[in-house]
Structure 1
């Protein structure tokens, strides 16, 4: 297995004063307030649960038990891709229309369900140098549960679709937070971004920081009941799902912003996650969604922060018990749902409700280039072998509740984005 080592993005001064971003430029900023405290206390509970259940299953077994199939996409779903860009209010020249070179869609039940919504994207190219987990090529997509639309008393949390890229089949796995050595509960977060680093799956927790799950401790539970999560009557359940993925750790910021997450000078909104393998060492990239600009330089623009990753453990590198940002920047664009960086360049995927949006590309201090992007594009994931940047689109319905059927998962060549 090989490594790709290139110089790390230029580090920013942790004592610099924030400056207002130029209208179309990424600017360096102070990242000292965004250090995270590591907490691995749930690891012992997850280990105890693994022993208690005695049903530990590898990723390969989850894939072999896949019970749903992707498909080649209806015409409606294809229309969400950037090559179908149809906005006349903001026209783009032909050379700025991106084109996908790989795609798949969900089965109809998942593509049209209102209360499970696709968000984070990652895969085995993040997980290991050879882009495989064992012998499997895997793509992961996180979905959050909307209890209001589902009509349930509590959120069912987050499910992860394990997609076998060889067969096109997939299975959902539910995230679980251990509450003791013998029980667990759902994880009710937005799941806007994730990255798979070795045995660990990192998941954005919008106001709090990052949660970490153990891909080598997937547990099988009973599917006999779909109305309960955890231990009940001597058996374990997960709302009818066959597998749960237990949380083992978190990286927490010291200040928790109000919900929904509001901009603060000393706290981030963790909206997306990506792994940058072009830096030395690898870095975990946190992107921040904002729906507006500000004249306050302390909170202006979404921030993007890089945290160094330990090459041997695949945990975040610590200094004094904290994960300290290696770089931090302010981005000049709003509504950015996905951020990926590679070789010092930033790729910012903007979202939209029912129209095509934009992919912005550029380096620090340089003007950004605008390309076409998806309808409702979410988190970004770079598959370094194929050279594709993947995203999942989220919208089955628009804001007024009308079905638009625009869910698709697709990849665009990175080298066509500048």
Structure 2
């Protein structure tokens, strides 16, 4: 659903006046207001839960228990890809039509379920230098739960699809927030962006900041009840899911906007996340979704912020106890759901409802180039070995509730946007 924009490696004065982005270029700006406070207090609770349950399971075991299979995609789902761009209202030349070179689709139940919606994307290329987790090539997709469409009294939170790219099989794992050393609850966030850094999975929490989960503490629970989350009657459950992924930390901004998040001069809306391995050190890229432009330079355009990542711990680097932005920019494009940066270049994936949209690419302080993009494209994830920029599309239905069946996960060569 909603998201944000991209960063660049240029020194920025912390006292500079925010600049309104030019009509078609990314503009550097002050990001000092967007420092984050790290809170790792949940780590001890997650450790206690791990001991209490005694069911810690490594990622290869989760993949080995995969109970669903991806497929090669129906014609309807393939049509969501950028090579099938067919808009006559906003035509593009053939050399600006992107072509996917890899793709997969979900099993029928996940492709058409209305109350679980794909959002954030990451994978083992983010997690480790060799692009593998152990010997497995893994792609992760986050789905948020819409309790209104599901008809449930509370949100079931977020599930993460662990997709084995070698076998094409996958399994969903539910995010869990420890409330004590003996219990946990769902994580009812939008999960618009995601990045996997070593043992830690960073997930966007739109108003608050970033939540962090520990993939080395995946816990197995009972599947005999689908109506409860946490401890009940001496057993642990996760709405029928077999595994939970516990939260261990939060990076929280000083000002927390009310929900739904509305960007403020001193606060971001955390809509997308990506890892940029081309910077030194690596950077966590936060992008901000905006519906439109503003005449107020403090909030104009979607902000994109780079936070440096510690090379050893894979936590955000702290200065004075806070994660301080390395660079911040304003982007002039609206409805950007996913942002990735690489070698100082920004890639902005714009969203759409039931039409193809656009991917914008360019450097800071220079005009951007417009390319074709997906129907309902979401978060962006760059596989640095294969050179593919991945996204997941979200729409199974249009705004009127009619089936359009457009969910697909695909990658396009980053070199085609050079």
| Superimposed CA distance per residue, residues 169-209 of structure 1 (whole angstroms, 9 cap, x where no aligned partner) | 00000000000010000000000000000000000000000
Which segments of 5 or more consecutive residues in structure 2 lack a partner in the other structure?
Answer: 1-7
SS in 1 for 2:130: coil
SS in 2 for 1:140: strand
Q: Which residue of 2 aligns with 1:178?
A: 178
| Separation in structure 1 between the aligned mates of residue 79 and residue 231 of structure 2, nearest angstrom | 44
| Separation in structure 1 between the aligned mates of residue 81 and residue 362 of structure 2, nearest angstrom | 21
Q: Which residue of 1 aligns with 2:76?
A: 76
Q: Which residue of 2 aligns with 1:292?
A: 292
Describe how 1:73-222 pairs up with structure 2 within 5 A: 73-222=73-222
Q: Which residue of 2 aligns with 1:26?
A: 26
| Superimposed CA distance per residue, residues 146-184 of structure 1 (whole angstroms, 9 cap, x where no aligned partner) | 000000000000000000000000000000000001000
| Separation in structure 1 between the aligned mates of residue 335 and residue 61 of structure 2, nearest angstrom | 38
Which range is displaced more, 257-266 or 122-131?
257-266
| Superimposed CA distance per residue, residues 280-335 of structure 1 (whole angstroms, 9 cap, x where no aligned partner) | 00000000000111000000000000000000000000011100000000001000
1:342 aligns with 2:334: no
Q: What is the root-mean-square deviation in Å for CA atoms of aligned residues?
A: 0.5
| Alpha-carbon shift at residue 233 of structure 1 (Å) | 0.3
Q: Which residue of 2 aligns with 1:9?
A: 9
Q: Which has the higher contact order (CA 8 A, sep 6+)?
A: 2
Q: Which residue of 2 aligns with 1:274?
A: 274
Q: Which residue of 2 aligns with 1:316?
A: 316
SS in 2 for 1:352: coil
| Separation in structure 2 between the aligned mates of residue 331 and residue 400 of structure 1, nearest angstrom | 31
| Separation in structure 1 between the aligned mates of residue 12 and residue 105 of structure 2, nearest angstrom | 40
Q: Which residue of 1 aligns with 2:37?
A: 37
Q: Which residue of 1 aligns with 2:236?
A: 236
| Separation in structure 2 between the aligned mates of residue 80 and residue 12 of structure 1, nearest angstrom | 38
| Separation in structure 2 between the aligned mates of residue 97 and residue 354 of structure 1, nearest angstrom | 18
Q: Which residue of 2 aligns with 1:370?
A: 370
| Separation in structure 1 between the aligned mates of residue 57 and residue 415 of structure 2, nearest angstrom | 38
| Separation in structure 1 between the aligned mates of residue 385 and residue 249 of structure 2, nearest angstrom | 29
Q: Which residue of 2 aligns with 1:353?
A: 353
Q: Which residue of 1 aligns with 2:62?
A: 62
| Separation in structure 2 between the aligned mates of residue 80 and residue 164 of structure 1, nearest angstrom | 23
Normalised to the residue count of structure 1, the TM-score between the two structures is 0.98
Which stretches of structure 1, 4 residues or longer, exceed 2 Å deviation after superposition? none
Which segments of 5 or more consecutive residues in structure 1 lack a partner in the other structure?
Answer: 1-7
| Alpha-carbon shift at residue 11 of structure 1 (Å) | 2.2
| Separation in structure 2 between the aligned mates of residue 31 and residue 254 of structure 1, nearest angstrom | 13
Q: Which residue of 2 aligns with 1:48?
A: 48
